[in-house]
Amino acid sequence: MTERSMQEPTLLLLTALADAPRHGYALIQEIAAISGGRVRMRAGTLYGALDRLLGQGLIHVEREEVVDGRARRTYALSDSGRSVLAAEAERLRAVAAEAERRLAAPGRLRPNGALA
């Protein structure tokens, strides 16, 4: 990963894999649950993201099996993916804490730049 912040679909996908390996449909359901239904990842977007994350070494294929005549891959978070997700969670925690600190600060600026 680079120094820039992680895109939300990537964050949700890595988060969905943080506690257990999952296959594609289970990932779609888990992402919807994590986001409170706000994010509904489509299959094409999901598999494109999974291919990218596989290429970056952030996830790996845990197993492949045939279910009802169709191939099913189960994905898991790699050690590298776990480290990247932990760093992003810490970055988000720090930003949220600063936002809360500033919102609670008694001296807020008015739109014209003067203190309220």
> Structural domain boundaries of the chain?
8-103
Neighbours of 34 (CB within 10 A): 16
Amino acid at 44: G
Give the pLDDT of residue 84. Answer: 96
Alpha helices in 1-116 (DSSP H): 8-17, 24-34, 43-56, 79-104
Per-residue pLDDT of the chain (116 residues; tens, 9 = 90+): 446 789 999 999 999 999 999 999 999 999 999 999 999 999 999 999 999 999 999 999 999 998 888 888 999 999 999 999 999 999 999 999 999 999 998 776 666 666 65
Give the pLDDT of residue 28. Answer: 97
Residues 41, 64 contacting (CB under 8 angstroms) = no
Give the pLDDT of residue 68. Answer: 87
Q: Does the structural domain 8-103 have CATH classification 3.40.50.300? A: no
3-class SS at 89?
helix
Burial class of residue 40, CB neighbours in 10 A (0-12, 13-18, 19+): exposed
Give the pLDDT of residue 2. Answer: 45
